């Protein structure tokens, strides 16, 4: 194998998704992922700490995007509107990756260890959103409640988007889920 391979991270991700889909997460080794990608195990570990992280490698990028979107929102916007707008903005990142997201989610849904890791990722995102809201001057518990609510809306919307046959625009599912939440809270 050559010393430098273009798009090693993407190739490792694609190889892992294919192998996990074919044989199941537990049955696949890092060596097999690297071989399928035409890379070495050493290259794998330069990009990922372990084989789980192939599925969660974009978490930091997602978190940074959400936090930045909250920070850049108009000062006059209500906290929940800021979070929903940030989630909608992130939705555009997912739209061209719907098939990838479906494959990834099927692998996660089939493995309790990966489900736990996904929940940790979502909790981390909610905490990051709450922190970004506190930076905007939103006090507790409003910041945490808003961050948690936003991630709950996102999770429901994402599940609908991944499992649905509707339009590929995740933002529409986020808007619909938020509208349903508003309807529920307005009636209370």
Residue with tokens 């991270």: 9
Q: Write the pLDDT tens digit of every residue in 45-99.
A: 999 999 999 999 889 999 999 999 999 999 999 999 999 999 999 988 888 889 9
pLDDT at 174: 95
pLDDT at 139: 97
Total-model pTM: 0.89
| Model confidence at 187: pLDDT above 80 | no
Query: What structural domains does the chain harbor?
Result: 8-51 (1.10.10.60), 58-186 (1.10.357.10)
Residue 5 has pLDDT above 70, yes or no: no
What are phi and psi for residue 75, nearest 5 degrees? -60, -30
Single out the residue of 42, 37, 35, 28 nearest to residue 7, CA to CA.
Answer: 37
Spatial distance between the Cα atoms of 117 and 68, rounded to a whole number of angstroms: 24
Mean pLDDT of all residues in 102-106: 95
| Residues 141 and 78: beta-carbon distance below 8 Å | no
């Amino acid at each position: 194998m050559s010393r430098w391979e273009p798009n090693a991270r993407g190739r490792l991700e694609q190889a892992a998704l294919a192998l996990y889909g074919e044989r199941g997460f537990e049955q696949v080794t890092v060596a097999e992922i690297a071989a399928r990608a035409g890379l070495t195990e050493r290259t794998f570990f330069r990009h990922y700490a372990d084989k789980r992280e192939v599925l969660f490698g974009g978490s930091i990028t997602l978190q940074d995007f959400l936090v930045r979107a909250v920070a850049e929102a108009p000062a006059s916007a209500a906290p929940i509107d800021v979070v929903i707008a940030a989630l909608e903005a992130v939705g555009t990142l997912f739209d061209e990756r719907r098939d990838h997201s479906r494959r990834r989610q099927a692998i996660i849904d089939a493995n309790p260890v990966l489900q736990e890791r996904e929940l940790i990722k979502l909790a981390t995102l909610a905490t990051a959103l709450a922190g970004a809201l506190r930076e905007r001057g939103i006090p507790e518990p409003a910041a945490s409640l808003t961050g948690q609510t936003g991630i709950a809306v996102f999770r429901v919307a994402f599940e609908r988007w991944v499992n649905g046959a509707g339009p590929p625009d995740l933002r529409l599912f986020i808007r619909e889920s938020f509208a349903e939440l508003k309807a529920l809270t307005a009636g209370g």
